[in-house]
Amino acid sequence: MARKASLSGFPEWLPAERLVELHVLDTLRKTFELHGFSNIETRAVETVGQLLRKGEIDKEVYGLSRLQAEEGEAGRQDPNALALHFDLTVPFARYVVENSGHLAFPFRRYQIQKVWRGERPQDGRFREFTQADIDVVGDGELPFRYDVELALVIAEALSALPIGEFRLRVNNRKLAEGFYLGLGLEDTAGVLRSIDKLEKIGPEKVAELLRTELGATAGQAAAALALAGIRTTDTSFVEQVRALGVEHPLLDQGLDELAQVIGAASTRAPGQVVADLSIARGLDYYTGTVYETVLVGHEQLGSICSGGRYESLASKGSRTFPGVGLSIGVTRLVSRMLAEETAAATRSVPTAVLVTLAHDDSWPEAQDIAAALRARGIAVEVAAKAEKFGKQIKYADRRGIPFVWFTSAEGSHEVKDIRSGEQVPADPATWTPPAEDLHVRILPAASPAAVTA
């Protein structure tokens, strides 16, 4: 678990670790599909022009060039040059525009793929990592209710993972901007940028920034900080904001929207989805609801799932496609699960049974037994050589295979649970391992700290 990646920032898992990651991916897929999300994949590459369209120069992009490129091929500064995508939102926006004639809107999609960023690797930050995104995108308009629904879907998906407690923190950009405008602070983006530094530099320095850089009065700065201090698990944040005495139509709209999300979540995902009026996120991007998520006890890991509402994910002529979506940082989550051993596989291989060979020429018969077991969904390997039984059992033990199958010269069959040593007669046509041994399962670690609150 403490192995170092051979290339910094490019993690690779051992087979037993990959089982944990597969469990996470399978669980997310199952939840998303139960909620009617369709899967798509987009190509790993975009044109540089597409990737930098929104001026995302803060993301470190990996450009591509053929090793055997000839003179005159697109150089990496050329907007038509290819580069690896750094998230799944930019490619999805392109996909929606390109395929809009073939999609039924509102289009619900999930997408689970690797993305690449040439950043300096650090704890929880990688150069290659997997994201799992869900978005709903409308054609022209998209009811606000999807902002509520997506919070619930994500809470359900994260609850199904053996990751312990989490908090999905929700805020609303309209609420914050309306509040600042109501206060008389016109540069709302500037205020948000300062408030975003709250955790890093503390309230006093933020207040100073607001005063010196944005011309706020001490009262305005105090009010902005008071707003950012509001955190509730129910809709009582509305009253707390109202108590600050600021009025603005945009504030009203933001309060109403956030109350819809928190109101539904406080009954459907109690304690998991909270209002947190300090959340800023993606300054140039989101236009209403914003989400981020922390693992309780692992807050310093950063957000494991973020997103929000964007009034124009993409546009095609005068047609715009508003959307709301969230992105789970699968690799960040899995790397923490593995490092903290919060979950583990019941065995390290899919195999439930090793069929041994009594003689070297009993391999075809052993294959028949294996085929009979596999027909009932039991994962089986057949020994490749008729070594001494002790050696064949040792092989199973070394690989973590729980059951070993023996066939006598007379054709009678026995199966041994090598963990208990129990050996019983068995019929290839009917024998099945106990349900808990049929498939590899991923269980939360017994140690309480990491799993429960």
Annotation: binding site for L-histidine: 87-89, 117, 131, 135, 281, 285-286
Mark the segment that binds its own copies (CB under 8 A) among 93-101, 162-170, 208-216, 279-287.
93-101
Which of 24, 90, 112, 128: binder of its own copies (CB under 8 A)?
Answer: 128
Among the listed residues 211, 233, 363, 389, the single contact to its own copies using CB under 8 A: 363
Residue 348 · residue 19 · CB < 8 Å: yes
Tell me, by CB under 8 A, how many residues bind its own copies: 83
CB of 39 vs its own copies, minimal distance in Å? 5
Backbone angles phi, psi at 407, to 5 degrees: -125, 125
116 touches 331 (CB < 8 A): no
To the nearest whole angstrom, how small is the minimum distance from the Cβ of residue 444 to its own copies? 21
Q: Which is nearer to its own copies, 83 or 337 (CB)?
A: 83
The three-class DSSP label of residue 156 is helix
| Binds its own copies by CB under 8 A, chosen from 49, 79, 143, 219 | 143
Q: What does each C-alpha distance from 429 to 76, 127, 375, 417 come to in angstroms?
A: 61, 49, 9, 18
- Which of positions 44-83 make contact with its own copies (CB under 8 A)? 44-45, 47-48, 57, 60-68, 76, 82-83
Which range touches its own copies (CB under 8 A), out of 114-122, 180-188, 201-209, 213-221?
A: 114-122
Residue 432 as a binder of its own copies (CB under 8 A): the answer is no
Q: State which of positions 378-407 bind its own copies (CB under 8 A).
A: 378-382, 384-385, 398-401
Which amino acid does the sequence have at 258?
L
> Which stretch of DSSP H or E encloses residue 106?
none
Q: Which residue in 42, 159, 253, 320 binds its own copies (CB under 8 A)?
A: 42
- Name the pairing type of β-strands 273-276 and 166-172: parallel
- Least distance from C-beta 246 to its own copies, angstroms? 29
Per-residue contact track with its own copies, 196 to 235, x per CB under 8 A? ----------------------------------------
Tell me 125's DSSP state: B
* Closest distance of CB 102 from its own copies, Å: 5
Q: Would you tell me the crossing angle of helices 188-195 and 203-214 to the nearest 10 degrees?
A: 160
Distances (CA, A) of 156 to 30, 199, 214: 11, 28, 41
Distance CA 364, CA 114 (A): 42
Please select the residue that binds its own copies; options are 55, 71, 104, 361, rule is CB under 8 A. Answer: 104
Q: Does 435 bind its own copies (CB under 8 A)?
A: no
| Binding test (CB under 8 A) with its own copies, winner from 364, 390, 411, 425 | 364
318 is an interface residue for its own copies by CB under 8 A:
no
Interface pick for its own copies out of 20, 24, 28, 40 (rule CB under 8 A): 40
Q: E strands within 301-430?
A: 305-316, 319-329, 343-345, 353-355, 380-382, 403-407, 413-417, 423-425
Of 245-253, 288-296, 371-379, 419-427, the segment contacting its own copies by CB under 8 A is 371-379
Distance between CA atoms of residues 339 and 160, nearest Å: 20
Binding mask 231-270 for its own copies (x = CB under 8 A): ---------------------------------x--xx--
Do residues 188 and 59 lie in contact, with contact meaning Cβ atoms separated by under 8 Å?
no
Q: Does 351 bind its own copies (CB under 8 A)?
A: yes
| Interaction between residue 152 and its own copies (CB under 8 A) | yes
Start-to-end C-alpha separation, the chain? 24
* Cα dihedral across residues 350, 353, 354, 359: positive or negative: negative
Radius of gyration of the chain (CA): 27
